[in-house]
Amino acid sequence: MKIGPINIPLKEDFSLKSILGFEKTPMNMLVAVLTLAFLAMFVVGVATYLMHGHHAYNVTREHPWGLLIAVYIFFVVSSTGFCIVGSLGDVFGFKDYMMISKRAIFGSIVTILAGFAVIAFEIGHPVTMLIYNVLSPGLTSAIWWMGTLYGIYLTFMIVEFYFLLNNNMQKARIFGLIGLLVGLAAHSNLGGVFGFLNARTISNGVFYPTYFILTAFITGIYLSFIIMGFRYKMNFDEKTKALLVGLAKIQTLLIAILMFFETWKMLTAVYGGMPNRAEVAEHIMHSGAFMYGEVLMGMLIPFTVMLLTKWRSVTTYVWTSVIGMVGIFFMRYDLVHDTQLKPLQMMKTHEYQLPPSWVEYFPSATEIMISLGGLGLCVLLYYVGTRAFNLDEEH
Amino acid sequence: MARYGMALDYKNCINCKACEVACKEENGVELGAEKHRIWVGANNPDGQWPLLDIASAAFLPSQCQHCDDAPCQEVCPTHATYYDENNVVRVDADKCILCSYCMNACPYDARYVDDRTMTVDKCTFCSDTRLARGETTTACQNTCPTKVRTFGDLDDPESEISELLRTREHFSLKSHLGTNPKLFYLT
Amino acid sequence: MSVEVSRRKFLQGSVALSVAGASAISATNLFSSEHASNKHQPTDSRIPSTITTKTGTGEAVEVATLCEMCVNKCAALARVENGVITKLNPNPMFPKSKNMLCPRGNAGIQAAYDPDRLKYPMIRTGEKGKGQFKRVTWDEAYDAILNGTDKFPGLAKILEEEKDNRSSMLFCAGEGMAEHTFKQFYQAFGSSNWLNHASLCLQTVVSGYGVTLGGYPQSDLDNAEYIIMAGANRAEAIVTPDTMDCFKRTKGRGAKLVCVDPRFTNTAAKADKWLAIKPGTDLAFVLALTYVVFTEELYNKKYVANYFNGLEDYKNSVITNKYTPEWAEKITGIKAKDIYTIAREFMMHAPKAIYYPGRRSTFATNDFQLRRAQAIFQALGGGIDTKGGLIFGKKLKLGKHEGLEPLYARAEARAVSKKDHPKKGESGYDDCAIVSGGGSWIAWRNRYLEDRMPYKVRGMFCYKHNPMMNMPNTKKTAQMLKKMDLVVTIDTMPSDTVMYADVVLPECTYLERTDPVKTFGGVEPSIAVRNKVIDPLFETKPVRDILRGLTEKISKPLFEITKKYDEDVQDELEDSDEAEVYAEFDLTLPFEGTQEEVNHHMVASVYGEEAAHKLHKDGVFYPDMDKFYKKIGANEHQYYPEKEKAYSVRGGKPKTPSGKVECNIANLASKGVDPMPVWKDEYNFKVEEGKFRLLTGRHAQFTQSGTSNNSMLHDLIMTNFIWINQRVADKKGIKFGDMIEVSSKTGSTRLKAYPTEKIGPDTLFFIHGFGEESSELTWAYKNGGNDNAVIEDVVEPVYGAAAMHETNVEIRKV
């Protein structure tokens, strides 16, 4: 397809028919039905939000950030992860990883779009944001930097993808490198959004900005396994297997580093019983979302499986990656929730209330619907992409 | 212009919440447990009946501390939160995008969402009501039965509040965070 | 999640709440403003569309008024923008309230704009107590009162049948500035049956101090160095200026405060010492303090020599009865050591020491004697009519306003029941020793129900009074109201009592009317007035206008009945012209002229025209105000210079006829009352195993049932909770918020649990005024527990007051 000087090489058979012409296996049908269901939920969720505003969410004065922020972070971390994995080949020139570059870069675009779609219904006034982001930029605000940089990042990713499609590796490399740097900057700023919260001792500091980069890489690899499994229907050729074995080894190392980080974060948080930090850390460690979600699913299961199978059982890793992604989701959810666990005002403001203790939060149906809708949107866009573009390496 | 602050002789406070109601009526604040701009904090006294710890049952009136270095202002992506000409921390509802970052960043839980404008709201020291009409004090200060509050210009050495702060020992809330609050609790 | 709901929505919403049943009224929503929007367009625009209205920066009118959210009458300045009250600010010029409005005062706006307000006159169409009414015009309502309907008889029929016994109508009223106006109607009508809040309120404390010191004194908490606050909770039951004066100086800043209360109240939180006394045993505490003072000779010898009657008798009584601190420890639970210390410290600081008199309901049957003992203890230190002690203060004069008190030959005396054969030294009445002006509400009610009346009482006029909520044993009150042939209520809200009315006359709120001007005595005396802030909303009227309309309707027809039965009148008519005789019986006379005119006259006649104008404008007036009144600082005003303050007006001399503190009153003995305060075994605190003593009380954010439907205050306390000791609750498996059923012989009520260490293991407490049954109250309907559904009707023996803390209850988690 040509638009002026821009040439977008679409697949020759790209049409509605080709989109609908997937093989009707039970698995594919399940994914299709789920995706449609999620998209329907998105519509219902957004409609509810438009009617009732934030009252449709379970966010409160003490817990202003809820599931949608977590899901947004989940998507943008995924995007950054895709970007890092995609860069291995086309930016850094690792030949083995070249075959996944185009697919990963496309994934990074799709995931960040899904993220934006979700956050648009969390930010109360997204249009105002676009205007005043430019007219009165808050340069001391991590959210301003994060948002602005992600905007730029998305542009670079699209341009990079364009050059990749046109097999212009030179230009793709330049835009890829800048995109990666902007993406990493944006992403660490997202960590900074939490790291700058001086009043929230559990989140305050250097941990989240660096942890975000690390977990982005981990997320990127989990997602790579999933999309490659999807692409090759679990029948990998030798070249792909080599790629995945490599990724699995890197992943093991990264998870080891993450576990090391997390251990020290918790140890330093608990040590000495510092108010507002130690008891929060202890509370976190007693929560199922942390122990089963983050630690078990996000780290231990994938790590142990890869270690025990000595990085050879790549089809298994597709499944452990799905588990890993559930763990990653909990990491995002916990990050948001745990930051707000401890009320900043600990006195009773009414006679007939219990003294403030841990802030409770559970997402509302609307929040869940919009979040799943984001996932549906992501899958749909990605699938349409696989039909429209050749995401495999060109020979 | 001025640098407004408030001194609170908090030991006078009897937790009657006249200030909270005066604030709501003056500024048209919505009802609802989450929607207060100012409040009085209380603790359950420590100990067991009949040997309760009177000292632990102090009442602490609180609200936006109008920090000179306000975290809420620093984190605002669109400068919706700003210092007005009297150094009062204000919110420009037109610029607020309701990202809620300020609510998370404020160490004092002083911000909430106004459901009518769907923007973040907070104590204004009655800047757009009483002070705008040329009155010299806030609704909470004026109505307080036990006269906890003194409102005034910290930059004016002749003001009553400046005199109070020169002569009475005082502390600020969470001052270790470097927020430089302009609410002073007299001891 | 509480969302701002537009007031309009509320008004529409109340359509759904509209009275049920009767098809005749289905088209008429009596409680909503439906009709206001159709018929009275301007009325509607005067109601703000949201609950709170942000004040503007444009044009506004400021009107000086007095608050009526409780009994204190603090001065307020109402801000009115486009006909809507947007803010109530404190009026700094009033020495009594000293530039303050409490939460209720601030929430007064919500009383005026309460969507549930009574809006139109109504008459009953359904079964009594079901709240089924139809809207009528004022004239129809007056006519129904005179002539009745098919559902109830009117005054004409009742008086005809009772042969002009005017006392066949009961008159009752709550406290308020216009209570006087209503009382004039009662006096002109000629009934002897008047019941007011006193016997449910401060009867025993006022009388106890009255007979002992000659008057109920005020407390100079601004200068006291030592304060014992027992059974009073000034941090929550706000009284001006006491609350403001007291807590500025506690916590080591000039005044030492000893709080004696079974509960850890907000006052306890501000005290230097809190003594958790067993309920109802304060008298033993005071007697032990007195014992220490007598045995250690700590009293002010000079004062005692000059101003005491019967000191030796009392001293003998206290000492020979061995009211030692050790004795009191067993009864009160307060350590003997503490009692010694407090007695000594009090007398060391005296006369700048105050045993705070308090002004509350009667809690225990010994309350009258407790107040006597307190007054005597206070006087022993010489702290009477002196700076830093109890003071009588000065009161500014007001001009006279003529009332009307005709004599009806057929009107019977007050319906009290005398004992058939009283023994020597026994009270002459069945109910209590002394019948005061305000009567004994519960004794009267119970006798009425038991048909123990000397004659038939057929109906009642009830003004600003809610007997259904305000006195123990709600069931009996409901029976009484049902038994009455004609119940006329004048009120602002569809209260539980209004639901039992035959005719409902809607009064406007205090912000919509001018009330009789009032003089406020004290150290810094002044005169203050409640000015009308806005015109009455809907079809409501001030009680004065209501009574003018009513008396215009009924005066002549009722006089015809008098003519028929009253021999004195018949005699008079033989000698004189009918018009001349009627003039004495013209019920409309007290209500001639506007309240503004009357007020102006009452002030101008004493202080001149200019003073009257000044009072109207500023809301406050006292001589030399221009000279004396000054703003000193953000939180301080001078009303009188120090040397002009009326700390001492009698040189310390009590106001009793003898000019002495009366310790031993023989006259009481003749009525079967102890002449001196003594302890009796029956006063002991007794709670059976598994039961609890139920306490009731106040809170700074509510005034009884009168404010229970205020949306703003409801926002501060959504409902009342029952206090139960934390450890007892743990043992019973009761957690915060669990629903608890409280029951006694009288009845039961349900409310949520509040386990706390602020109360002892054998007592329970909840705030009075919640749990109304009137479905027309959006916020108050079935919200929380009603204490009076549970409290037993125990009659205090001296004045027949309701003793509120004499009920033991059981609880059950439901």
Query: Could you read off the pLDDT of C783-798 as tens digits, one per residue?
Result: 999 999 999 999 999 9
d(Cα A161, Cα B43) in Å, to the nearest integer?
59
CA distance C449 to C433: 21
Rounded CA gap, A89 and A101, in Å? 6
Q: Could A128 and B96 be called an inter-chain contact, meaning their C-beta atoms sit closer than 8 Å?
A: yes
Q: Give A 87-146 residues with CB within 8 A of chain B.
A: 123-126, 128-129, 132-133, 135-138, 140-144
pLDDT score of C342 more than 50 = yes
A53/B99 Cβ within 8 A: no
Interface of B with C in 40-99 (CB under 8 A): 44-45, 47-50, 52, 54, 57-59
Point out which residues pair with C755 in neighbouring strands: C724
Residue A337: strand, helix, or coil: helix
Spatial distance between the Cα atoms of C380 and C299, rounded to a whole number of angstroms: 5
Q: How confident is residue C418, by pLDDT bands cut at 50, 70 and 90? A: confident
Confidence at C13, pLDDT banded by 50, 70, 90: very low
Q: What is the architecture, at CATH level 2, of domain A57-343?
A: Up-down Bundle (1.20)
Residues of chain C above pLDDT 70, percent: 93
Q: Chain C residues within 8 A (CB-CB) of chain A?
A: 1, 3, 699, 716-721, 736, 752, 754
Name chain C contacts of B47, Cβ cutoff 8 Å. Answer: 757
Closest Cα in chain A, distance from residue C721 (Å): 7
Residue A280: what pLDDT? 95
What's the confidence (pLDDT) of residue C67? 97
Distance between A350 CA and the closest CA of chain C, angstroms: 7
Q: What is the least distance, in Å, from the CA of C717 to any CA of chain A?
A: 7
Q: What is the pLDDT of residue C422?
A: 61
* Residues in C touching B131 (Cβ below 8 Å): none
A357 touches chain B (CB under 8 A): no
Say if CB C180 and CB C544 are below 8 A apart.
Answer: no
Q: Is the pLDDT of residue B20 over 70?
A: yes
The residue of chain C nearest to residue B59, with distances taken between CA atoms, is C269
User: What is the pTM for the complete model shown?
Assistant: 0.93
Rounded Cα–Cα distance for residues C145 and C488 (Å): 8
Which domains are assigned to chain C? 122-201+409-591 (3.40.50.740), 218-391 (3.40.228.10), 686-813 (2.40.40.20)
pLDDT at residue C30, as a whole number: 45
Average pLDDT rounded to a whole number, residues C479-498: 96
CB of C244 within 8 Å of any CB in chain B? yes
Instruction: Decide the pairing of beta strands C486-491 and C503-506.
Output: parallel
Judging contacts by C-beta atoms under 8 Å, the chain C residues touching residue A55 are 1, 3
> Which of A60, A142, A144 comes nearest B34 by C-beta?
A60
A204 contact B CB<8A: no
The predicted pLDDT at position C39 comes to 34
Name the residue in chain B with its Cα closest to that of C240.
Answer: B145
Helix pair C336-349, C325-332: axis angle to 10 deg: 120
List, in order, residues 6 or more apart from C74 with CB less than 8 Å away: C66, C67, C90, C94, C96, C97, C100, C101, C102, C105, C240
pLDDT at C421: 66
Q: Is A350 on the interface with C (CB under 8 A)?
A: yes
pLDDT the model gives residue C152: 97
The string of pLDDT tens digits covering residues C604-637 is: 999 999 999 999 999 999 999 999 999 999 999 9
Tell me the per-residue pLDDT of C51-107, one tens digit each, with 9 for 90 and over. 999 999 999 999 999 999 999 999 999 999 999 999 999 999 999 999 999 999 999
Q: For residues C375-381, give the mean pLDDT.
A: 97
Kindly state the DSSP code that residue A91 receives in the 8-state scheme.
Answer: T
Q: What is the pLDDT of residue A14?
A: 85
What pLDDT, on the 0 to 100 scale, is given for residue C38?
36
What is the distance in angstroms between the Cα of A55 and the nearest Cα belonging to chain C? 8
Instruction: Tokens for A221, please give them.
Output: 């690899």
Element (H, E) at A68: helix A67-90
Distances (CA, A) of C712 to B27, C4, C40, C81: 14, 11, 27, 20
Count the residues in chain A: 395
The per-residue pLDDT for B34 is 87
Q: Quick check: A344 contacting B, CB < 8 Å?
A: yes
Average pLDDT on C15-41 reads 35
- Grouping H, G, I as helix, E, B as strand and the rest as coil, residue A277 is coil
The pLDDT of residue C4: 39
Residues of B in contact with A123 (CB under 8 A): 97-99
Digit-coded pLDDT (tens) for B85-127: 999 999 999 999 999 999 999 999 999 999 989 999 999 999 9
Q: Alpha carbon of C812 to those of C42, C690, C732, C787: distances in Å?
A: 52, 11, 9, 16
Helix (H, G, I), strand (E, B) or coil at C428: coil
pLDDT at C248 over 60: yes
Q: Do C251 and B139 touch (CB under 8 A)?
A: no
pLDDT digits (tens, 9 = 90+) for A189-234: 999 999 999 999 999 999 999 999 999 999 999 999 999 998 888 8
pLDDT at C9 over 90: no
Beta bridge partners of C263: C759
Q: Is the pLDDT of residue C109 over 90?
A: yes
The pLDDT assigned to A182 comes to 96
Cβ C264–B45 below 8 Å, yes or no? yes
Residues of chain A in contact with residue C1, where contact means CB-CB under 8 angstroms, are 55
pLDDT given at position A395: 62
Taking contacts as CB-CB distances below 8 angstroms, the residues of chain A near B75 are: 138, 140-143, 196
Please count the helices (runs of H) and the strands (runs of E) in chain C: 29, 29
Question: Which C-chain residues 625-644 have CB contacts (< 8 A) with chain B?
Answer: 633-636
The answer to whether residue A332 neighbours chain B at the CB level (below 8 Å) is: no
Q: A350 touching B, CB under 8 A?
A: yes
ipTM of the complex: 0.96
Chains that touch A (3 or more CB pairs under 8 A): B, C
Candidates C516, C562, C586, C502; CA nearest to C185 is: C586
**Pair B154, B181: CB distance under 8 Å:** no
> Between β-strands B47-48 and B51-52, what pairing exists: parallel, antiparallel or unpaired?
antiparallel
Size of interface A-B (CB pairs under 8 A): 133
User: Is the pLDDT confidence value at A8 over 90?
Assistant: no
Could you give the domains of chain B? 4-186 (3.30.70.20)
| Higher pLDDT, residue A93 or C27 | A93
**Inter-chain touch A124–B42, beta carbons under 8 Å:** no
The alpha carbon dihedral of B103, B108, B114, B119 has a sign of negative
